[in-house]
Structures are given as structure tokens and as C-alpha cells.
Amino acid sequence: MEITQQDVEKVAQLARLAVTSAEKDTFAKQLSQILTHVDKLNQCDTTGVEPTATVMGQVNVFREDVIRPSLPSGKALANAPECEADGFVVPKILEER
Amino acid sequence: MSLHKLTLIDLQRKFAAGEVTATEIVRAYSLRISQVEPKVKAFVTQTREAACEQAEALDRKLKGWRKTMPLSGMPLAVKDNICTDGVPTTCSSRMLQNFVPPYDATVISKLRAQDYLLLGKTNLDEFAMGSSTENSAFGPSRNPWNLQCVPGGSSGGSAAAVAAEECVAALGSDTGGSIRQPAAFCGVVGLKPTYGLVSRYGLVAFASSLDQIGPITKNVSDAAFLLGAIAGHDPLDSTSIDRPVPDYLKALQKRDLKRLRVGVPVEFFTEGLDPEVDRTVRSAIEELSHLGAEVKEIRLPRTDAAVAVYYVVATAEASSNLARFDGVKFGFRAKETKDLLDLYIKTRQEGFGPEVKRRIMLGTYVLSAGYYDAYYGKAQAVRTLVCQDFEAAFKEVDVIVTPTTPTPAFKLGEKSEDPLQMYLSDIFTISVNLAGLPAISLPCGFSRAGLPIGLQLIGRAFEEETVLRAAHAYEQSTQWYHQKPILR
């Protein structure tokens, strides 16, 4: 599979990453090389084979909904890059008209 | 004999018997760390001072009535992607450089309840992505057997710390070989438990369907001992399995391997396997047969495809797991951003290193519209075939024996420019994670250049006892683990 610099740009945008033009070139080459190796998968016949997402076969694991102690907000906010009162601070999301 | 030379079990016996205090243990290890750590660089964060205070408190507590728990006073190191309350947990990433977890991982709660002593957090490839620790944002660790060589990865710091005797044992995590490969490169024992045996709560997620925490130790008995302390069901991890934890040490009592059927997969002994590794592992297999095991050839035809499956499944899961690092709730945040989107992008651009970005990009690509079925769907189907290969093999044999890695430790910088070559070096360990099976790596000899070579034993799900018993019988008849690197 050949990955172009445009593909890299698009994927970077989806993944919320920025890429410099030098990185675009390197990533395009490296990802092409890796995906060419991954194309080996097409040599395996998987007609009628169920996909495996997890190996132990659990489906839903339920438990009683009981109140347990949780982190106090001060401790939960201690690692925040920016916080105010009891909340995380982020740049404004909605623009004023 | 210096305390740092003892195995976990021997040190534990001495401590339980009151022959040595916790304070003496910490002092001995503290001295050892200050002597060799400048060369080995195993730790990201050292917690020797806190360990010293804990040790003093423990000694006071035990003064009146000496009743110790199995890991009381035992000086351990923990991979820096396992959360420790109040102690930085960086994942060797700029993204989490200043992150101090507000809670303990379940494995840490278990160790803390037994009054273990934490000596420090060990280096890894950033977010456990890599095979050499060269992807650490804080610089690589060194292989104690040859400081020009990598210790392996991603749990390279833990393996190097155990090999250099900077701790009596350590915890690592294994997603595609990250416990076993560094254990092989550093000449120590590393065990990846069955998926679901050890809680993943508090392990920073890389690929959730593959990750497991496990012990890295000086010998097989120590691995059995430490596994028993961390295994068991945890309601906080919905993938952890509710079943009783056996006494793993008891499983080691039987020394011969009569009636044990051992399979040798022909696909593992092909071109690309270093001749010295080939020779050494084959003689280890002969030894297993001398011990009474019945050795036969088996087939694992999808060994080659497993690497491809892994780099689709693991990166897809990683791209989703690492979406949480957005500069909002914890971790790094970029400065001078104009809006929220810009904040996300700059934070992730500056916070992640190149290999993490590469894997996020690859994972995002294989999950993106138009490629999902061709890559992710296909890989999940081939994963089923990889599991079926193992099921078929385990109808004929009880344990599968292979080299842990195709070569001994490589030089620093040798593969860091070629991601695909680095990925292919995991070929012998990856399929085990895809199938969720238990596997151990233990030393089985040395290359002419004096680098350790690892033997891998793989078992059926939840048959850690069989794997440990076979490994222990081999270890006791060969005694490779008595050889130590010389660090001047």
C-alpha cells in the first residue's frame, strides 16, 4: 500500500497531530513500508472466519451499582494544566456572533 | 554476602527470620544503585529516600511482634507506566513528565498492602511502544552485559535494573513481548501472564486487548512468588477473570518433566534466526528432553502473519487509547494556542515522540473510513486463525518452546532509523499476546560476544504452573542464572 503525503496530512488531522513537511515525507515512506508488510494478511484466507476482538470471550461484565468513595475534586484537579474553582479551564469553544 | 546479590525468596526468608532489617535492605540497595545506575540508567524516578522512611517505619512496626507478609520489606522497581499514588508516572513521555497519579494501580495496592518498598520507577519506550528503550523521552537505558547494547524494550529499565541488581525484582508490562524480550536481552526471567490473570487497572493503556503486567526476576522461583502476589480478580478491570489463584511456588516442587509434551514450532527456526541463538536454543531443547520431556515438532503456520496482525490491532487500539491526551485534564499542555483545536494539535504534537506519533497515525489510518475492513477487520479475522493455530498445537503438546528473540541484544542506534526492522524483531513474542497465552523467558546461554540468550516457554491459558514448572526444571539443571554481568 502506497501512502502519499496527502494521506499523511489527512490522517494527522484525524488524529489531532500536526506534521512538518519533513515529517510528512518520512511518515509517508515509513507507513508505506509498514503497510506493504501488512498486506501479507491478504495471503490468509479468512472466508467465514469470525473476527477476534478479545480472547477470553467475556461479553458484558455487570456489577451492583453501589456508591463507593471516589477521588475528591481537589485531588482530581491536581494534575490539570489549568483549573479554576472546581473545573478544568479550556479555551473558549463557542464563538460570539 | 552482599544483600543485593540475594534472590527475592532468599532475601524474604532472611527478612522474615529477622536476620536483616528493612533499613539494612534499603541501605544496601541504595548503595548499589548509586554505584551502577550512572552506567545503566534504568530509572526515570528514584524513590530511595521515601523507601528508607518506609523501611524505618516497617522495622519499628515489626519490633514487638515479628509477623511479616511475603513481600514485606522487599525492594522492588516498577515500570513507569504503572500508576503509583503520589509518585510520578511518566510513561517516559513528555506528555506525562509532571503527572503524579492520584491513585495506585491494583498491582501496587496489593504490593503496598504487604509493605513492599518501592525503589523507583523504571524507564521504558514512550508509552511502552518500542523494543529498545530508545524511544524514551528521557534517553535510553543500557544493557548491563554490554553498555553499548540496548536492554530491550519496552520494559528495558525493569530488566536492566534486575540484571544490574539495583532491585531484587521488578514489574513490567507486555503487549507484544515487552517483558520477555528485555528479560532475554538482559539475562533475567520475565513472565507474561495469561490475559486477564493480573489486573490492568492503573496500567496506562497501550493496546487494551493485549496488555498484561508481569514479573521480571532473577530466577523462575522468584517469578512464581511475585506472580502469586499480583494475580487475581479485580472488579475494577472488567477483563480480569474471576478464578482462584493457585500456589505457583508449589508447582515448582516436581523437578522432572516426565510425560510433559513439548512442541517445537518449525516456523521459528528459519532464516533470520541468528545461528548462535539457534544452536543455544536447540541445546536447551535437548536438555528438556534429558529431563524427561517428550519433544516433538509442531506447526504454527501464521507466525509470519502475526507481526502484521499485531501492528494493525495494537496501533488501532493505541490510537483510540491515546486520544485522551488532549492537554485538558492532566498531562502536558502546549502554550500559546489560539483555540481548542489548536490546543489539542499543539499539545499532541509537542507532547508525543516520533514512534508514538507513527503508531497513532498507523492506527488512525487502519480504522479510517474506507480502510477499516481491509485492515482492521482483516487483522481481527487473521487473529482468530493465530488463536486456532495455538489451539491445534496444544491438542498435541503441553508447552511450546522457542527462542524469545531472533538475535541477542543489538547495539544502540542499530535499528532506531528503521521502524519495520524494529517491529520484526518481536516476531517470536507477538503471537502469544494475540492469543492471550502465558509465556516465560529465561536465560539459556550466551553468545560468543557474552550476551545472554533467552528461551521462551508458552503454555495454555491459565496454565502458568506448567510453564513455570518446565522453566524451573530447566533452570535448576543448567544454573545459567548464577552468571552476572560485571559492571565496573
**For residues B292 and B254, is the Cβ–Cβ distance under 8 A?**
no
Inside any domain, residue A28: yes
Q: How high is the pLDDT of residue B1?
A: 64
* B21 and B111 assigned to the same domain: yes
pLDDT at B89 over 90: yes
Residues 348-387 of B with CB under 8 A from A: 348-349, 352, 354, 357-358, 360-362, 364-366, 368, 375, 377-385, 387
Average pLDDT across chain B, whole number: 96
- The tally of domains found in chain A comes to 1
Reduced to 3 states (helix: H, G, I; strand: E, B; else coil), residue B192 is strand
DSSP string covering A46-76: -TTPPP-S-SS----------------HHHH
Q: How high is the pLDDT of residue B122?
A: 98
CATH number, position A12:
1.10.20
Inside any domain, residue B12: yes
Q: What residue type is A64 in one-letter code?
A: E
Q: Give the Cα separation of B232 and B234 in Å (integer).
A: 7
Q: Which residues of A touch B326 (CB under 8 A)?
A: 16
Inside any domain, residue B15: yes
Q: What residue type is B329 in one-letter code?
A: K
- In A, minimum Cα distance to B386 occurs at A52
Dihedral angle computed from the Cα positions of residues B414, B416, B418 and B423, in that order, rounded to the nearest 10 degrees: 100
**Helix, strand, coil in percent for chain A, rounding step 5:** 40, 5, 55
Mean pLDDT, residues B190-206 taken together = 98
Q: How high is the pLDDT of residue B488?
A: 67
**For residues A31 and B358, is the Cβ–Cβ distance under 8 A?**
yes
Dihedral angle computed from the Cα positions of residues B396, B399, B402 and B408, in that order, rounded to the nearest 10 degrees: 180
pLDDT at A97 over 80: no
- In B, minimum Cα distance to A34 occurs at B420
The residue count of chain B comes to 488
Q: What domain range includes position A15?
A: 5-43
Cell digits of residue B119: 525503589
pLDDT tens, position by position, A5-40 = 999 999 999 999 999 889 999 999 999 999 999 999
pLDDT at B136 over 90: yes
Partner-chain residue, chosen from A27, A40, A50, that has the shortest CB–CB distance to B358: A27
B contact test, residue of A17, A40, A66, A88 with most B CBs within 10 A: A17
Q: How high is the pLDDT of residue B420?
A: 84
Q: How high is the pLDDT of residue B6?
A: 97
- Say how many C-beta atoms besides its own lie within 10 A of residue B61's C-beta: 15
Residues 75-94 of A with CB under 8 A from B: 75-76, 78-82, 88, 90-93
Q: How high is the pLDDT of residue A56?
A: 86
pLDDT tens, position by position, B10-25 = 999 999 999 999 999 9
Inside any domain, residue B397: no
A contact test, residue of B364, B366, B460 with most A CBs within 10 A: B364
Inside any domain, residue A11: yes
DSSP β-ladder status, B75-79 and B117-122:
parallel
pLDDT tens, position by position, B386-402 = 999 999 999 999 999 99
* B213 and B353 assigned to the same domain: no
* B328 and B468 assigned to the same domain: no
* Among the listed residues B192, B162, B247, the one whose alpha carbon sits nearest the alpha carbon of residue B439: B192
- The tally of domains found in chain B comes to 2
**For residues B152 and B184, is the Cβ–Cβ distance under 8 A?**
yes
- The residues of B carrying an active-site annotation are 79, 154, 178
Cell digits of residue B484: 552476572
pLDDT at B47 over 90: yes
Q: What residue type is B36 in one-letter code?
A: V
Inside any domain, residue A77: no
- Say how many C-beta atoms besides its own lie within 10 A of residue A13's C-beta: 14
* B159 and B96 assigned to the same domain: yes
* B318 and B248 assigned to the same domain: no
Inside any domain, residue B410: no
Q: Give the Cα separation of B343 and B328 in Å (integer).
A: 9
Inside any domain, residue B398: no
Q: What domain range includes position B310?
A: 303-382
pLDDT category at B221 given cuts 50, 70, 90 is very high
Domain limit, last residue, from B382, B415, B431:
B382
* B219 and B321 assigned to the same domain: no
Domain limit, last residue, from B353, B382, B411:
B382
pLDDT at B170 over 80: yes
pTM over 0.95: yes
Residues 24-63 of A with CB under 8 A from B: 27, 30-31, 33-35, 37-44, 46, 49-56, 58, 61, 63
Q: How high is the pLDDT of residue B417?
A: 81
**For residues B186 and B152, is the Cβ–Cβ distance under 8 A?**
yes
Inside any domain, residue B157: yes
ipTM of the complex: 0.94
* Among the listed residues B252, B246, B180, B185, the one whose alpha carbon sits nearest the alpha carbon of residue B216: B180
**E strand segments, B132-235:** 169-174, 189-192, 212-217
Inside any domain, residue A57: no
Inside any domain, residue A64: no
Candidate from B63-72, B224-233, B330-339, B409-418 with smallest mean pLDDT: B63-72
**For residues B44 and B125, is the Cβ–Cβ distance under 8 A?**
no
